[in-house]
Structure 1
């Protein structure tokens, strides 16, 4: 099983050691990573805040893209912050839970295409919906990401947002994760937190999952309100408050 998460626009500070492109998971994406980084660096610094949709309080984040190969790195699962990653709280997992995360979690990225949870990356600023001059992120990543995911041979639970799902389809037979209230209403803020909390529960229990049926059986045994939807997808039912661990 792979659980495919979206990234976060917010990034943690700090780290050590520079980016080593050869160390990243999914080596088939290396050339496209270089091309995406080059397109990002070509954006004049004075134009970058508007292109990247940054405000006055975070306009400085555009400068991160100038030091991609020299800035300090941290594991991707620690670099990304925000609601989903608060729900996952990888830093507080025990060694076995952390090992599960590093084996089973893949993070989508507009800059890197796909990342393993343990891949060490610098801070950067680029969202899946950004229109880079001279490079369509959707066209750039779509086939390469889809091929890389299919090449793993793993069943995929796709928890990405729409902008990142557009950068490469999950393999046929994968399940899309929906999050709704018991009444069937879609959520926003709590949607993200619930996806992170579900990932944490999977890691805490060292879940062995290879299909949707396996996932639903695990959920029933773990007391997780997960239901089938249609022929392939699943829906997580939550209250309008973060899942409690």
Structure 2
């Protein structure tokens, strides 16, 4: 089983490990794609105005340019410790047990706009690049989609896709009985179903943390659905290829 998360635009600075080693990351078939994009992003940082336009940066975000300039030389930290924001605050990686972190290393993936899908404990630097960034002469969808879809298709077992629509566009998971997209919804007393925006991130973090702590490598979606109530979660099939995580709209 793999759980596939979106990244976050916000990231912790610093790190304690050696600089980025592209050939050490999960899915080595993506190494050359990663190398091309990392080179383009770090080179772009030499032009502040162009970087601001490409990354849609505000006046208070110019430090992100320095991060990108040092992309290949700055220290790294595990993926689950690098990202911050609502989803990752709920995941709260720093308080995971050693067993849960080890499980994350084997079963958790995060889809980076810069590096494609990476493992939960892969070592990455701080950087700034989003799914909708517009690098001169390099479209992210064209750069990533075919190769990312290929590695996701080849990944063995169940894949629970928690990505946002923007990151799905950088590598859709092909329709397959073991590929499930998660949609966070709330249900009113009259049975009306509504998708959530802000609260969906927290719900995904809570679900991911519960999966890491349970440490079960589910073979089938039925096993996942049977487990959910034991973790206090309401998880059910939605339309074809989708699961619904039902939460309180005021989570």
TM-score tier after normalising by the smaller chain length = over 0.9
Structure 2 residue 91 is the aligned partner of structure 1 residue 82: no
Choose from 143, 156, 178 the match for 2:183: 178
Choose from 133, 139, 144 the match for 1:136: 139
Task: Map 1:108-187; keep pairs closer than 5 Å.
Answer: 108-171=111-174, 172-173=176-177, 174-183=179-188, 184-187=193-196
Aligned to 1:96: 99
In 1, distance between residues paired with 2:151 and 2:196?
Answer: 30
SS in 2 for 1:226: strand
Q: Output one character per residue of 1:13-41: Cα deviation in whole Å (capped at 9) or x when no partner.
A: 12122111121111100000011112223
Q: Output one character per residue of 1:183-233: Cα deviation in whole Å (capped at 9) or x when no partner.
A: 222212210010011000111111231222121111133331111112321
**TM-score, L = length of structure 1:** 0.94
Aligned to 1:35: 36
Aligned to 1:19: 20
Structure 2 residue 243 is the aligned partner of structure 1 residue 234: yes
The alignment yields a C-alpha RMSD, in angstroms, of 1.3
Q: Which runs of 4+ in 1 moved over 3 A?
A: none
Unaligned runs of 5+ residues in structure 1 are none
Q: Do 2:64 and 2:128's aligned partners in 1 also have CA atoms closer than 8 Å?
A: yes
The alignment covers a number of residue pairs equal to 242
Aligned to 2:48: 45
